[in-house]
Amino acid sequence: MAPTPPRKSVPKDRFPTVFATLKTQTYYDPSSRGPGSHTVRTIAWNPTGHLIAIGSADRTLRIWNPEKPQVKNSTELRGHAGAIERVAWNPTKEAELASVSSDGTCRFWDVRTRTCIASISLGGEGLTVVWASDGSLALAGRKDDTLIPIYMHPDSPPTAGTPLAQSLQTNQTIFNPVGSPTTLLLTTGDGSVKICSWPPPPPTTVPANGSTPSHHSALSPSRSSTPAPPSSSSSLQTLHTLHAHTSACVSLALSPTSRYLAIGGSDALISLYDTHDWICRRTLSSLSGSVKTVSFSWDGSYVVGGSDEGTGIDIAHAETGETVARIETSAPAPCVAFHPNGKYWIAYSGDPGGLKIVGAAGGGM
C-alpha cells in the first residue's frame, strides 16, 4: 500500500472550530427494502481510508468510495444468505475484506474483482470478525460465544482451526500487536475484559469414552474403532482481567498507538484504560444507551462511541475526557468509525437516507 503523507494533529483548543467546518455527505443505498430493512449493522474503513464497507440486516454488503457518493460508483458484494453482522479489512491488503453473517459463514472478498475468494463455515451464526495485525489470521466469533481462528495461506485457501468455546458472553475481540507475545482482548457479559495470550495452547484430544487423555493421545488421534470419533478442545490462557463495567462489555477499540483501550458497556459508559498499567484513567458518560461501537481518531487524540439509543454523537478528547465537538443526528447512531489515515472524518449509521460521512463533502480537515 502507498504510504500516506504525514499530517499534524489538531490540538484540543482548535478542534471545535476546525471540526465545525466539515460538511456531511450521505450515501444512499437503493437496496433498502422499506423502513428498518436496511439497518446498518457494521461499518469499517479499509487501511488507507479510500474505501468504506457497510453490512446491513437485509444482507447488503456494499463498498463505497467516500469521494464518489453515487451508488453507481459503489460495489455490492453478493453471497451471504443472512444479515451481515461484522466486516473487517485485512490490515495488510487494502482490497481484502472479511465478513461474517447470521447465515453461519465467514466470507473473504477481493473487492477489486468483486469476488468471494473463500467461504468458511463457522458451525453457527456469525457475530464478529477481527484480523491479526500481520494479516495471517482472521478470528471469527459465533453468537454462541465460540471463537473460530481462520488461518490464511499464501498459496492455498484459508482453513479453520480448533474452535475456542468461551464460558461467558463474548461480544467483541481485538488483537493487541504491541509487546510480546501478542495478546487477544475479549469483552464479556459480566462487565469484564479478558486479556489472553495468543496463540492458544495446542488442543487436547478427548476420547469418545470421556476418559482423561494421555500425553500421547493428546497429540495423536486415536486409531481404535470406537462408535464416536474423539473431539478436540482448546482454551485461551487469561493473563489479566479488567473489571471495567457494572454490566456487559459490548465494544472495545485500541488507539492507533495502543496507549489507550476504550471499552463500551451496556451501562452507557465508555471507560478509557491506560495499556501500560491497565488502570482506568477516565470514564465518558455522554451516551444514552448501550455502547455498540467505539472508535479512535487516526492520531489517538479523540474518541467517539455509537449507541442505539438517544441522538447525537459526542467527540471526546482522549487525554482529558472533555467533549470537544458534537454531531447532531435525527436518530440513534449505533455504528461510528473515525477515518484511519490523517483525517478527522467520521462515518456513522442510523440517520435516514443511509451511511453518512462527516468531512467527505468538504471542510477544513
What is the per-residue pLDDT for 214? Answer: 40
pLDDT tens for 266-314 read 999 999 999 999 999 999 999 999 999 999 999 999 999 999 999 999 9
CA proximity to 337, closest of 244, 251, 248: 251
What is the per-residue pLDDT for 178? Answer: 78
Burial of residue 189, with CB atoms counted within 10 A of its CB: 0-12 exposed, 13-18 middle, 19 or more buried: middle
pTM of the model as a whole:
0.89
State the sign of the Cα–Cα–Cα–Cα dihedral 320, 322, 327, 329: positive
What is the per-residue pLDDT for 182? Answer: 87
What is the per-residue pLDDT for 30? Answer: 80
What is the per-residue pLDDT for 204? Answer: 66
What is the per-residue pLDDT for 173? Answer: 98
Place of cell 463505497: 64
What is the per-residue pLDDT for 270? Answer: 98
- Cell reading at 272: 478509557
pLDDT along the chain (365 residues), means of 10: 64 96 92 63 97 94 96 95 97 97 98 97 98 96 98 96 96 86 93 95 62 37 34 76 97 95 98 96 96 98 96 97 97 96 95 89 78
What is the per-residue pLDDT for 312? Answer: 96
